Amino acid sequence: LSLAPLFATKTFITTFIKTPSCSSSVTNTFCFFRLRGRLRSAHTIQTRRDERFFSMGAMVSRDGTTKSSFSNTKTNYSFTNEKKRERGGGKKKTLTTIVSAAQAAKSNDPVDNDDNDELLKTPTKKKKTNKTTNNVKHERAPPKNWEECLAKIKQMRKNGPLAPVDTMGCEKIAETSDEKQKRYRTLISAMLSSQTKDQINHATMNKLIALNKDTAEGILNTTEDDLDEIIHQVGFHRNKAKYLRAAAKICVEKYGGDIPPDLESLVELPGVGPKMGHLIMNVGWEKPSGICVDVHVHRITERLGWVSESCAVTNAGSPRKRTPEDTRVALENWLPKDEWVEINPLLVGFGQLYCTPLRPKCSECDVADLCQNAFRDAATPTKKKNNLKSSKN
């Protein structure tokens, strides 16, 4: 298969470097290493080609025929595109496919290609399949002292300062006399709130309201680039501009410019997840469909010990990282339904003021004596060093 190893012998190299063109010893050495490098490169390239060829299970005989080394049947490896499709290769949407679909549409003949319909469809949200399903039943027994803990949090929020969510939350910016417009403002604000602070989300919503872009028709009449320029301060603004226009088109075509009336239809909108769906149902339609669990609610309930570790287990029985959806299901099993709507702004404001992600203010919190993780993350690095020095002394 390869002639390179025959030339890469010591005899050949010695004979080659003894030619008159290589007279001096320095020249001989240079020619030797230069020739050896070239031969090694050629040998390596040919060896890789042989390995690729043999990995296909074939070998070449002297007469040029291709035979399989694993069976007696002859194999032809020059497959055409049609043969590749027969072996399971995916279809490609080429120009020929589009033209054939157009010709068939003119002649009213059926086309044997279901993928052509996707070219003219509005982009829809793909349903995600959860590979790690949870087979463990959630505990319906409420945690210990949860009522006392919740009462203290309500008292702290009532007597303490206002949090950003109290004045700039999704439900605050959506306040208007028109119920239909209020619902659509809630949808826009919820879609923009992902990975965005309340202050930036509030300012962006004020821009949209001032430009009359707070309705489905107003967003649909705006180009994606112009909409992206308006909401450029929020996180992932480019994707959100695309999702807003796609959701507006669905709302105009199916619901007359209003938002879907149920949770199942809401989460089918592009850019809308379960958390946003529950928030829109609770605030927009004023129908409690579930608890809206964001990063604040997820973090605080875990610190308080309101979510059991058994709620996040794989099919094999091993524990996995808990998600906000696990927290929502666990809370809905024991928390009274009349607390479902209030629990989100209550804990979000509590997390913004006291139970922050980094260095929570446990020394100022009235729930510290009931919290399982109090003062665990509250100490700063300097305080830890000082505590270590004092303990050593």
The amino acid that residue 51 corresponds to is E
> Which of the residues 92, 240, 275, 392 is marked catalytic?
275
Query: Contact, 84 vs 230, CB < 8 A?
Result: no
What is the number of alpha carbons within 13 Å of residue 351 lying toward its C-beta?
21
Instruction: Specify whether 180 is catalytic.
Output: no
> Rounded to whole angstroms, how far apart are CA atoms 190 and 193?
5
DSSP readout, 5-41? HHHSSHHHHHHHHTSTT--SHHHHHHHHHHHHHHHHH
Rg (CA), the chain: 34
Distances from the Cα of 280 to the Cαs of 168, 243, 267, 290, 299, in angstroms? Answer: 16, 16, 10, 11, 22
Cβ-based burial of 296 (10 A; exposed 0-12, middle 13-18, buried ≥19) = buried
- Return phi, psi of residue 67, to 5°: -125, 150
Q: Which residues of 32-59 are buried (b: 16+ CB within 10 A; e: fewer)?
A: eeebeeebeebbeeeeeeeeeeeeeebe
> Rounded to whole angstroms, how far apart are CA atoms 281 and 273?
12
Catalytic residues: 275
